[in-house]
Every structure is written in C-alpha cells, then in structure tokens.
Amino acid sequence: MLRSMLEVFWNENVWLPPNTTWEDIAPGPDKAVVYTDYRHLLYPLPLALLLILLRRVLENYWFAPFGKSLGIKNTRPKKASNIPQLEAAYQKSSKIKHKQFFLKEKITALAKQLDLSERQVERWWRHRRSQDKPSTLVKFCENAWRCLFYLYSFSYGLFILWDKVWLWDIDHCYIGYPHHGVTNDVWWYYMISSAFYWSLTISQFWDVRRKDFWQMFVHHIAAIALLSFSWVCNMHRIGTLVLLSHDCADIALEAAKAAKYANYQKLCDALFAVFTVLWIITRLGIYPFYILWSTLIRAPSLLPMFAAYYIFNSLLCLLLCLHLVWTWLILQVAYKTITSGQMEGDIRSSSSELSDSSHSQSNHNTPNRLNNKKET
C-alpha cells in the first residue's frame, strides 16, 4: 500500500517535464552527466546532528569565552520568592501570554488568596518569567554561531558559483533542463545547506524563543521542501541562486545582534544599517525581480511547464510573503533607530521580553517585598 501511495505521489507526469521519465535522470555510469540522487536527501539528517554538535562545541569553547572577554555576563535573575500558590498558577499558565493571564479578576483572586497586593502578584509573575529566559551570553552565542555559518555559506556559495554560467545568465537554469549535471561542489553546497535548515528546525524548540517563531518554522520547512524537491527534480541550479541570495543579508543581521548583546552600540547601528540595505537589495530586489521573475516569466518560454513547477513557484512566493512580513518589522526597528539615535530591541525578540525589560528596575526588589509581606 505504501509503495502504491509513493508511486502515485511521485508520478512522472507531475514532477517531470513532458516525455521525461525518472529513468532518464537517474544517476548511472552510462549517463552523459552526473544526475542528482534522491537517496542523498538522507545525508542532511546526520549532518544536521553534526552541525548541532559542532555548534555546542563552538559555543562552549569559543563563543562563550569570547563573549565573556567582551564583558558579557552569564548572569540570570535572582530566584523568585518561593510561593507555592503563585508557582502553581505560573506552571499552569506558562504558555499563556502575560497580558492574557493577568486579567483583572485573576489578579484579584490571587492577591486575595495570598493577602498580597495586585501589583505585587504581577511583579512576582514578571520576575518568575524572567528566570526562564536565556542569559545575554546564551543569546550572543546563538547569534555568533549563525553569523559564522552564514558567512561560510555565502562565501562558499559565491566561490563555487563564480564560474557557473547560470550565475551570470539565469536562463541557463532552464536551457537544457532536466539534463543538468551536478558537480561535487554544488553537491556539498546543497547537503550542508539542507543540514543547516534541518538543524535550525530541530534546535528552534530550545533556542531563544522569538516573536516570529512560527514564521521562522514555516520558513525552515519551506526551505527544506524547496531544497528537497528541487534536488529530486534536478532543478539545483535555481536552488543555488535562491540560497546565495538569502545568506548575504543574514550575516550582517546576526553580527548586529551579537554586537548589541556585547554593548557595542555604534557597531550594532552600523551593522544594522548595512543589513537593512543588503536586505532590501537581495530580498526585495534580486529575489523577486530577478530570480522569482525568471521562474514565473522566463521559464515558461524556455521549457514546457509541468505540475511540479507550479509547486516550486508557490513555495518561492511563500518565501516572498515572509520577506514582506519581516521587512515591515525591519522598517519599524529602522524608524525607531533613526528617531532614538540607536537601535533598540531586536527585530526577532519576543515582544514580551522587550516589555519586561522596561520594568526590570521596578521588579528588582519585588522578592524582598513579597517576603516581608509573608512574614507580616
């Protein structure tokens, strides 16, 4: 039954151009070019685990010591007062946003139950929530790892594609398709990039939680789907261009966030300005008006269309929609940066984290006040 379902799913009429079979693009010694092998899509899974392990090693023995040398402390807030009733309420409502939980009636109920003021209960809750957030050093290490990988990925991609004809003339992504051979350097580019997105998808559930958690999750899944389907269908040429255009701006973004955590505000502002320019050029310029335009407009005139091509274009359009959402967030941060004179917050930080930071000073003495109240 499973075999029948797979045969229906991988129907040649859906995934390949007319008059083309899977046998035609299957790798073999008798073929004129080296075709992609669908079985190689399993390699990114163990590679993803190796990347996660490499990240842990670098964070512990490289990024963390470097961050500490810059003055970043791995300190966490003092433990909130041990009040079982509040702790039980917190555990039950830990997944509910702060403003949703602290409705007037619930604040009143907890305050009356514990003989505390509503303000004290609310402050305790904020302090307890801050305990579950990662330290500044942890966030610095995460951004440093991503910055390093994006720097490697973009540099390697640019290096191997520099002499590829389709980098300079995108029509060659379609001319002669599907009989495009894959070279060893492109093979590694695809495998490591796929492994990285798999590692992000896995580690996202314990990394610093951002307000665009689900947008990033969808982005990673769409990226993996694009890489996998394009690999199976031998459409790796256009895939390499998409990868290259996406890695460029992310280098400056991760570097800017790392600089902010290290309190290098001027460097952060400069890197954020560079990031904004690169983002607009690559994500809102090159990607939609060069790459996406070629897949939607040029490709139909160079090769016969087939069902899978519309699937690819749908995923590419989904990425563009995510770019537009993030662009709005970026422009908001850019506007605040211009008006305030420095970058404030993080375009992908939790909104609750930002709101809590404004109350950090008033929350500092909350545990002592609660203890005094309980003693009374």
Distance between CA atoms of residues 269 and 254, nearest Å: 12
Residue 276 tokens read as 């904004």
Confidence of residue 363 (pLDDT cuts 50, 70, 90): very low
Q: Give 128-171 pLDDT, tens digit per residue.
A: 666 657 788 988 999 999 999 999 999 999 999 999 999 999 99
Q: Is residue 85 scored above 50 in pLDDT? A: yes
**DSSP reduced 3-state for 146:** helix
CA atoms within 13 A on the CB side of 52: 18
**DSSP reduced 3-state for 310:** helix
Q: What is the b/e burial string over 211-246, where b = at least 16 CB atoms within 10 angstroms of the residue's CB?
A: bbeebbeebbebbbebbbbbbbbbbbbbbbbbbbbb
pTM: 0.78
Q: What is the pLDDT of residue 349?
A: 46
Distance between CA atoms of residues 150 and 193, nearest Å: 10
Percent of the chain predicted with pLDDT > 90:
48
Confidence of residue 112 (pLDDT cuts 50, 70, 90): low
126 neighbors 360 (Cβ within 8 angstroms): no
Q: What is the pLDDT of residue 365?
A: 42
Q: What is the pLDDT of residue 211?
A: 67
365 within domain boundaries? no
- Region 102-116: mean pLDDT is 61
Confidence of residue 350 (pLDDT cuts 50, 70, 90): very low
State the chain's maximal CA–CA distance in angstroms.
87
- Region 265-278: mean pLDDT is 93
Q: Is residue 375 scored above 70 in pLDDT? A: no
256 within domain boundaries? yes
**Among 352, 370, 365, which Cα is nearest to 118's?**
370
Q: Is residue 306 scored above 80 in pLDDT? A: yes
Domain that holds residue 316: 164-353
State the chain's mean pLDDT as an integer: 81
Q: What is the pLDDT of residue 114?
A: 66
Q: What is the pLDDT of residue 369?
A: 37
121 CB-near residues (< 8 Å, 6+ apart) = 86, 107, 110, 111, 114
302 within domain boundaries? yes
Q: Give 188-208 pLDDT, tens digit per residue.
A: 999 999 999 999 998 887 776
Q: Which is it for the CA torsion 176, 182, 183, 188, positive or negative?
A: positive
Q: Give 27-80 pLDDT, tens digit per residue.
A: 988 888 999 999 999 999 999 999 999 999 999 999 999 999 998 887 765 665
207 within domain boundaries? yes
Vertex 292, ends 162 and 179: CA angle to 5°? 60
Higher pLDDT pick, 362 / 125 = 125
348 within domain boundaries? yes
Q: Is residue 303 scored above 50 in pLDDT? A: yes
Q: What is the pLDDT of residue 48?
A: 96
25 neighbors 16 (Cβ within 8 angstroms): yes
Residue 266: burial class (beta carbons within 10 Å; 0-12, 13-18, 19+) = exposed
Distance between CA atoms of residues 102 and 125, nearest Å: 9
Q: Is residue 251 scored above 80 in pLDDT? A: yes
Q: What is the pLDDT of residue 129?
A: 62
Return phi, psi of residue 306, to 5°: -145, 165
Q: Give 4-29 pLDDT, tens digit per residue.
A: 787 778 888 888 898 889 999 999 88
Higher pLDDT pick, 243 / 357 = 243
176 within domain boundaries? yes
Residue 163 tokens read as 């002499």
- Region 218-235: mean pLDDT is 88
172 within domain boundaries? yes
Distance between CA atoms of residues 342 and 33, nearest Å: 54
Count: domains in the chain: 1
328 within domain boundaries? yes
**Among 230, 73, 84, 63, which Cα is nearest to 148's?**
63
Confidence of residue 319 (pLDDT cuts 50, 70, 90): confident
Q: Which is it for the CA torsion 181, 184, 190, 194, positive or negative?
A: positive
Percent of the chain predicted with pLDDT > 70:
74
Q: What is the pLDDT of residue 366?
A: 38
* Amino acid at site 287: Y
Residue 71 tokens read as 């003055």
Q: Is residue 372 scored above 70 in pLDDT? A: no
Residue 87 tokens read as 């702790």
